[in-house]
Chains A and B, each alone.
Chain A
């Protein structure tokens, strides 16, 4: 009888695993990458890097504030430090990221696994629903939330090629494959992944797959929904949003995050300045999460495709009333 525990953490099809494998694969090309870990490498995906490049893997213990600020010192000596921990523990070190990485404009990257309700059974204390809002508010900080393993791989490379501080979300749970091998990624650019004229659904992270599912449900009702994958939350792709506003006249935003301060807010800020139109927000409605499987939580907190469908219909009816 085996006494070894099954490591639930290292599922094969999660965004964090995709990130960990991508980073390990890019490490020989980006020779100045060092990975910083706070005793959680098995959970963040960087166990791959620890195995492939142990001499560039730095253990900080369970001490995220020191790790975050020390990344500034490593960057100052010419390395590209990749700070890795859970999204909720990045929140613990926001001020270190602000002063020692962003204010100093260091070429350092923060890669956060376990964001949002996607964390699942660990419960409300572990589910970061505020991280994109916090990091988006820091001047000069780029915020990225890729949608699937293919995009995660591309985003990891783009993040390393970009010179400046980046906050990137991965994900704990198995993520649906959204994109084919021909997918491309550029920081600051959103992408129309399905076209339509009645409403634009702007989504990031795990909500992109749900947005595509919602568009299919809407199509059955005769509604043509456009789906935009907005993998970069900051800087937001204002040009694309303006074009979508002109073409479709109303929006739904969908994110595994508090509706305050994240993708929805970024979209609203942008459109308010360029082409105001009705926006409905799908996300966690300013409450904390709870234990449960990710799909159960998504249903309970209103993040699934049927919720996006309802929001789209509300947005369309507001658009019609406004005419």
Chain B
């Protein structure tokens, strides 16, 4: 079972190691985790006969960095009040969440391939009563952000040092509730809340820009007084660096705008909005995708068995 890299955020900010002194294999380990997340997500969507691949592939690197390096959250800490929390507000990326959970020991890799099946806890969208480690149930856009905000408030009231992370989709930002929460998090100075936007520029039917434009996105959040950091959401060192900067932000919440590619890693999906929606993958498509994602023949056979 892969173990998260010890990455002690509890140490005072000034004593934190600079990024150049990261454990030597960290970046390659996280890249490998992200590759596994993508492969597993594709395999589970193939077996399910439905699911949203595009937005699962675009957030794999961010999820790998969170679970592999940033979160103080381990399988034996699921009920620890001092744990960091992660909320997948873009609940339709559940296949990627289950995959990263499987990678870091929160659930079983084989079981997690039973995505969307009758009596499987791996529902189409995460459900906390099925799996406590997903922290809350999501799937209705905007709500996970508010729940994460409520957790951040609760942890502050407890005077806990734990942090709350939440991942939002870009289309999700069209929900009015998101802007209610954006205003609220700043008003209450929730510097223990780190919100990440998986900015793959596409949503269910089309480009964000054609459905309902989000730009100027960074300026919108800056105007709300968030600490905004824009990054390449597929560049592991950049993601780690931004998470580190976010965790040392005081008196206001931080927003990471992760510029990503929808369908990242699968050439025939990249940049094509139709791969957002719930799709059925043929065996051939699944094989091609897994091959492009670096799985070898034996692995592909095992994934699709």
Closest to B182 in A: A66
> Are A70 and B139 within 8 A (Cβ)?
no
> Are A70 and B184 within 8 A (Cβ)?
yes
Q: Which of A58, A69, A96 has the most CB of B within 10 A?
A: A69
The stretch of B3-11, B21-29, B114-122, B153-161 that contacts the partner chain = B153-161
> Are A96 and B135 within 8 A (Cβ)?
no
B146 within 8 A of A: yes
Which of A34, A72, A76 is within 8 Å of B157, CB to CB?
Answer: A34
Contacts known (A34-B157, A99-B137, A103-B137); A77 close to B143, Cβ less than 8 A: no
Contacts of A68 in B (CB 8 A): 146
> Are A69 and B143 within 8 A (Cβ)?
yes
State A74–B85 Cα separation when bound (angstroms): 13
B180 within 8 A of A: yes
Contacts of A95 in B (CB 8 A): 140, 143
Q: Mark B13-24, 1 if CB is under 8 A from A, else 0.
A: 000000000000
B177 within 8 A of A: yes
Contacts known (A63-B183, A76-B150); A96 close to B143, Cβ less than 8 A: yes
B127 within 8 A of A: yes
Contacts of B157 in A (CB 8 A): 34, 56, 77, 79
Residues facing B in A95-110 (CB within 8 A) are 95-96, 99-100, 103-105
Which of B128, B149, B177, B188 is within 8 Å of A104, CB to CB?
Answer: B128
> Are A60 and B184 within 8 A (Cβ)?
yes
B266 to chain A, nearest CB (A): 31
Residues facing B in A51-106 (CB within 8 A) are 56, 58-61, 63, 65-79, 81, 95-96, 99-100, 103-105
> Are B135 and A76 within 8 A (Cβ)?
yes
Instruction: Give the interface SS of chain B, mostly helix, strand, loop or mixed.
Output: helix
> Are A65 and B129 within 8 A (Cβ)?
no
Which of A77, A81, A104 is within 8 Å of B137, CB to CB?
Answer: A104
Q: Which of A66, A103, A105 has the most CB of B within 10 A?
A: A66
Residues of chain B having any CB pair with chain A under 8 Å: 81, 85, 127-129, 135-140, 142-143, 146-155, 157-158, 176-177, 180-181, 183-184, 187-188
> Are A99 and B139 within 8 A (Cβ)?
yes
> Are B147 and A70 within 8 A (Cβ)?
yes
A31 to chain B, nearest CB (A): 11
State A79–B154 Cα separation when bound (angstroms): 7
A285 to chain B, nearest CB (A): 33
5 closest Cβ pairs, A-B complex: A73-B150, A77-B154, A70-B150, A69-B146, A63-B180
Contacts known (A66-B146, A66-B177, A100-B143); A73 close to B129, Cβ less than 8 A: no
Contacts of A56 in B (CB 8 A): 157
Which of A65, A81, A99, A103 is within 8 Å of B180, CB to CB?
Answer: A65
State A81–B151 Cα separation when bound (angstroms): 12
State A74–B158 Cα separation when bound (angstroms): 11
Known: A76-B150, A99-B143, A100-B136. 7 other contacts (CB 8 A): A61-B183, A70-B150, A73-B150, A74-B154, A79-B154, A104-B136, A104-B137
Closest to B155 in A: A77
Which of B136, B137, B142, B183 is within 8 Å of A65, CB to CB?
Answer: B142
Contacts known (A60-B184, A61-B187, A105-B129); A74 close to B153, Cβ less than 8 A: yes
Instruction: Identify 11 residue pairs between A and B in the complex whose beta-carbon atoms are under 8 Å apart, listed by A's number.
Output: A61-B180, A69-B146, A70-B146, A73-B147, A73-B148, A73-B153, A73-B154, A78-B154, A81-B150, A100-B143, A104-B136
Interface size of A by CB at 8 A reads: 30
> Are A74 and B150 within 8 A (Cβ)?
yes
Closest to A66 in B: B180
Contacts of A69 in B (CB 8 A): 142-143, 146-147, 150, 177
State A67–B143 Cα separation when bound (angstroms): 10
Contacts of B148 in A (CB 8 A): 73
State A58–B189 Cα separation when bound (angstroms): 13
> Are A73 and B184 within 8 A (Cβ)?
no
Contacts of A60 in B (CB 8 A): 180, 184
Contacts of A79 in B (CB 8 A): 154, 157
State A67–B129 Cα separation when bound (angstroms): 22
Contacts known (A70-B184, A95-B140); A100 close to B154, Cβ less than 8 A: no
Which of B81, B136, B158 is within 8 Å of A73, CB to CB?
Answer: B136
State A79–B155 Cα separation when bound (angstroms): 10
Q: Which of A63, A72, A73, A76 has the most CB of B within 10 A?
A: A73
Contacts known (A63-B180, A65-B142, A65-B176); A74 close to B81, Cβ less than 8 A: no
> Are B153 and A70 within 8 A (Cβ)?
yes
A94 to chain B, nearest CB (A): 11
State A71–B158 Cα separation when bound (angstroms): 15
A164 to chain B, nearest CB (A): 13
A129 to chain B, nearest CB (A): 25
> Are A100 and B147 within 8 A (Cβ)?
yes
Which of A34, A78, A96 is within 8 Å of B146, CB to CB?
Answer: A96
Closest to B158 in A: A77
Contacts known (A65-B142, A65-B176); A78 close to B149, Cβ less than 8 A: no
